[in-house]
């Protein structure tokens, strides 16, 4: 609903499990909302032109480049960012796999890679290398190289499947 006094729109979203309704300007990008409004700065902005994928988050479970979408387009959705994945003392299997497989160096791209991997593995915990590379298309890592990243995603899928069997 639009507030005619300031052109803002009331938007209800659930971010990392917390539902909130806010009055937001119509031109606010999801990346800006997460980083500047909620201070969830784990979502990185590397280009702002839909090239790098560092800003990728989950919207209703799908990987979305948050610099490409306006918050007012997302009423009623569920957003997950890297901050919601795990905790330092209880890493998500994807985070654990990236740590074990040395799949990051500077870490700038990593939040986007992790969220993209989660979306991919939720659909199929055992993708082939080719499917992983296709799934990560649109994510640019400037320093690690993709071999370790693909190995980490494979390892993460095994971890997620094992966790589901236990759970
Ligand atoms: S900051 Fe969104 S794709 Fe690069
Ligand atoms: S780890 Fe440095 S850009 Fe990917």
pLDDT of residue 163: 77
Q: Pick the ligand that lies closest to the CA of residue 138.
A: 1
pLDDT of residue 76: 97
Take atom 3 of ligand 1 and give the residue whose Cα is closest. 50
pTM for the full predicted model: 0.94
From the CB of 67, is ligand 1 less than 6 Å away? yes
Q: Is the dihedral of CA 12, 115, 122, 140 positive or negative?
A: positive
Q: Pick the ligand that lies closest to the CA of residue 47.
A: 1
Q: Which residues of the chain have pLDDT under 70?
A: 1-5, 167
Domains of the chain by range and CATH? 2-82 (3.10.20.30), 93-166 (1.10.150.120)
Ligand 1 centre from 81 Cα, in Å?
14
pLDDT of residue 40: 98
* Sequential DSSP letters for 54-97: TTEEEETTEEEEGGGSBGGG-TT-EEE-GGGT-BTTB--HHHHH
Condensed to tens digits (0 to 9), the pLDDT of residues 107-154 reads 999 999 999 999 999 999 999 999 999 999 989 999 988 999 999 999
- CA 35 to CA 30: how far, in whole Å? 9
């Amino acid at each position: 609903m639009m507030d005619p006094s300031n052109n803002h729109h009331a938007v209800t979203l659930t971010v990392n499990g917390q539902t909130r309704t806010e009055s937001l300007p119509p031109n606010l990008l999801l990346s800006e909302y997460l980083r500047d409004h909620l201070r969830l700065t784990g979502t990185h902005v590397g280009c702002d032109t839909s090239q790098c994928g560092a800003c990728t988050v989950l919207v209703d479970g799908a990987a979305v480049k948050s610099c490409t979408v306006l918050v007012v387009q997302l009423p009623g959705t569920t957003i997950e960012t890297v901050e919601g994945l795990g905790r330092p003392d209880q890493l998500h299997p994807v985070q654990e796999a990236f740590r074990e497989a040395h799949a990051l160096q500077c870490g700038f791209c990593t939040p986007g890679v992790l969220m993209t991997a989660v979306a991919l593995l939720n659909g199929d915990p055992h993708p082939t290398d080719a499917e992983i590379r296709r799934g990560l298309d649109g994510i640019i890592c400037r320093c690690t190289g993709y071999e370790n990243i693909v190995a980490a995603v494979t390892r993460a899928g095994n971890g997620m499947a094992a966790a589901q069997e236990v759970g």
